[in-house]
């Protein structure tokens, strides 16, 4: 199902709040009513958000044939060209989790979470959907690199840090493994971050590695799906378009170049029931 209406990463937090009945002040992002109605129809009780680092809209279209699970989720659920408000990871993930633009939440580096918290005026805008969830009695967990997890320690039910690894596929596999543990604990709201495409974008020069990373991410999502309860809504989104673009846009079309410059990322949303029931 393709949807043309304007969707932004900052819409994810208020949409999840609406679906899981989490109390939070209305942020700048808007509730996506199509997703909210869809969640209601599918009796959604739990949400998992998989942030796929560097999964731009054009990149996803390019890799789609190597990502059968994501492609299946996109065809059975929703697939959006989604606007990202930042070209780097930390402010973008902060926007996904807070529902505010970087100019509002002011989180450009992980340490800013702690600095910005001390300013009363902007502190509400730094508070993530996981914290609002935790405060509303909804078990909320984050599985992310160690520094990011440390900043969230004590603020949510479980902030799980993954130590950095030379082997980024190992890092993602560990993230998946610990996310499955959270799923099995019955956690209502889970957010995790898979990093392999981004790492290869920086360090490699060959599409073979980007495709390898894409396939590995698809396998990780497939493994998560095996453990998810029915009535779970899965969000899969990029945080920004690909870094070191000069290497990757050499043979790109004009449309792909435009989408890159506009910083459009892929957003796929599907309920586990829809994923399992229709073939």
Residue placing its CB nearer to Zn ion in the complex, 40 or 87: 87
When the beta carbons of 89 and 179 are compared against Zn ion, the nearer one is 89
To Zn ion, the closest distance from the beta carbon of 76 in angstroms equals 27
Residue 174: burial class (beta carbons within 10 Å; 0-12, 13-18, 19+): middle
Min dist. Cβ of residue 236 to Zn ion (A)? 14
Instruction: Check: CB of residue 35 under 8 Å from CB of residue 80.
Output: no
Q: Which is nearer to Zn ion, 182 or 198 (CB)?
A: 198
Q: Which residues bind Zn ion (CB under 5 A)?
A: 53, 89, 198, 239
Residue 158 to residue 140: CA distance in whole angstroms? 7
Shortest distance, position 90 Cβ to Zn ion, whole Å: 8
C-beta of 139 vs 201, nearer to Zn ion: 201
* Residue 226: Cβ-neighbour burial (10 angstroms; 0-12, 13-18, 19+): exposed
Enter the DSSP assignment of 231. Answer: T
How far apart are CB 53 and Zn ion at their closest, in Å?
Answer: 4
- For residues 142 and 29, the answer to whether their CB atoms sit within 8 Å is no
Q: Give the nearest residue (CB) to Zn ion.
A: 89
Asked if residues 22 and 232 have their Cβ atoms less than 8 Å apart, the reply is no
């Amino acid at each position: 199902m393709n949807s043309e209406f304007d969707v932004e990463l900052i819409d994810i937090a208020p949409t999840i709040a609406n679906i899981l009945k989490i109390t939070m002040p209305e942020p700048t992002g808007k509730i996506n009513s199509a997703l909210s109605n869809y969640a209601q129809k599918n009796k959604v009780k739990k949400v998992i958000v998989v942030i796929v680092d560097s999964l731009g809209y054009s990149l996803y279209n390019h890799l789609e044939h190597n990502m059968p699970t994501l492609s299946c989720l996109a065809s059975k659920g929703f697939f959006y060209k989604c606007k990202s408000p930042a070209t780097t990871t930390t402010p973008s993930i902060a926007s996904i989790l807070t529902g505010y633009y970087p100019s509002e939440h002011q989180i450009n580096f992980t340490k800013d979470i702690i600095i910005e918290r001390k300013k009363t005026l902007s502190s509400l805008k730094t508070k993530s959907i996981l914290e609002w969830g935790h405060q509303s009695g909804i078990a909320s967990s984050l599985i992310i690199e160690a520094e990011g997890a440390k900043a969230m320690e004590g603020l949510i039910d479980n902030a799980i840090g993954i130590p950095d690894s030379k082997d980024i596929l190992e890092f993602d596999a560990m993230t998946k493994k610990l996310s499955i543990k959270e799923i099995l604990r019955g956690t209502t709201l889970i957010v995790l971050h898979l990093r392999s495409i981004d790492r290869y974008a920086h360090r490699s020069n060959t599409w073979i590695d980007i495709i390898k990373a894409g396939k590995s991410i698809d396998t990780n999502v497939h493994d998560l799906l095996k453990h998810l309860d029915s009535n779970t809504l899965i969000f899969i989104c990029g945080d920004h378009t690909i870094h070191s673009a000069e290497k990757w846009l050499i043979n790109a079309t004009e449309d792909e170049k435009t989408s890159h410059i506009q910083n459009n990322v892929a957003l796929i949303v599907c309920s586990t029931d829809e994923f399992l029931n229709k073939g």
